[in-house]
Amino acid sequence: MATDSSVLVSARAKQLDTIAAVLPIDRRDELAELLTDQDVETLRHLVNEGMGENTLRALTSDLAYLQAWSFAATGASLPWPAPEALLLKLVAHHLWQPEQRDINPHHGMPADVEQSLREQRFLRSSGPHAPDTVRRRLASWSTLTKWRGLNGVFSSSSLKSAIRLAVRATPRPRKRKSAKAVTGDVLAKLLATCSTNSLRDIRDRAILMVAFASGGRRRSEIAGLRREQFTVEPPIVVEGVPPLPSLSIHLGRTKTSGSEHDEVVYLTGRPVDALNAWLAAGRIETGSVFRKIDRWGNVSKRALEPSAVNAIVKQRAALAGLQPGEFSAHGLRSGYLTEAANRGVPLPEAMEQSRHRSVQQASSYYNNATRRTGRAARLL
């Protein structure tokens, strides 16, 4: 029986390998044991349907967590479709009140379930989950249910009411993805730490400049850039200076674009020079643009992980004498719009480069900049 189980797990691992190029999986063997054959087949189907890589990563992560939680909480794999009682159990286990647990130790997630998830590295933080995390996992569960051709009860009034009451009972302040925006002055300090001709400095300088100047690209978009996405454009003629080099970046489908829409942004001037310097130094003619560099200074053929872009921002902040905990890769995105607002760039023009779809989201950076420097803040 154990042999049969090992064969099944090995088969699932091979199936996961076939989608690894689109869906990087660093815990493949664990997932092969945790997921069912139908789970893996569903993921393969989503890959073939052309779903975005970030969405696939999120679905896989959420599916793995839900399966681990289901085994720990009920002793069985996720049922398809899930009964309403199990959905309510998920909410009760994750959106609980710390002060209530002090009174009743059985409130919230049971200790044995929590211990099981921690041992499997699915649970790291203490305390209740963020409501947005629970909503996202429920949404992923609902999506996977629909892809199986089944109908769930994810829109039931009882479930919505349970989430609403749980959130209301335990208010949580909203946290920004990056405590501080990487505006032009901060970016200059980060770039000043990339002053040598070492491969790391040349690469990191290109990453910072390209990510910022291309509209504050997301870390996943920067990590996933390939040489084939670049097109050299005619130089930009500006009075009083030599013609500026220009290129376009074809982003393809992004987090906020439609499935058939090819997003295009542009680089001009110094960022293009920084990028070309890295491509030449790293001898990168095809494939991934931003790659790992080992301790001996060898450039890998493997692309950086999105988390590495975040680590680079924090490392450069520390080298610049700033507090690394106050900055993240998302600070480049918010910083781009904040800097555009500070320089008086019209919001629609800035959004064309940042590719924000929500005027409300993009305008919040403009409103903050305007409020800070405007007349309303200088009445005295």
Please give the pLDDT value at position 12: 63
At 72, the pLDDT band (50, 70, 90 cuts) reads very high
Q: Which of 287, 289, 288 is nearest to 278 (CA)?
A: 289
Query: What would the mean pLDDT of 315-330 be, rounded to a whole number?
Result: 92
Helices 199-213 & 184-192, crossing angle to 10 degrees? Answer: 170
pTM to 2 decimal places: 0.59
Q: Output the CATH code of domain 184-377.
A: 1.10.443.10
Instruction: State the span(s) of the chain assigned CATH 1.10.443.10.
Output: 184-377
Please give the pLDDT value at position 1: 45
Classify residue 126 as exposed, middle or buried by CB count within 10 Å of its CB (0-12, 13-18, 19+).
exposed
Whole-angstrom distance, CA of residue 212 vs CA of residue 233: 19
81 preceded by a cis bond (ω within 30 of 0) = yes
Q: Which has more pLDDT, 116 or 19?
A: 116
Q: Is the predicted pLDDT of residue 257 greater than 80, yes or no?
A: no
Q: Which has more pLDDT, 24 or 219?
A: 219
At 378, the pLDDT band (50, 70, 90 cuts) reads low
Q: Is the predicted pLDDT of residue 293 greater than 60, yes or no?
A: yes
Q: What are phi and psi of 292, to 5 degrees?
A: -70, 150
Q: Which has more pLDDT, 218 or 200?
A: 200
Mean per-residue pLDDT of the chain: 81
Please give the pLDDT value at position 280: 96
Please give the pLDDT value at position 99: 76
Q: Which of 351, 333, 338, 349 is nearest to 257 (CA)?
A: 351
Please give the pLDDT value at position 32: 63
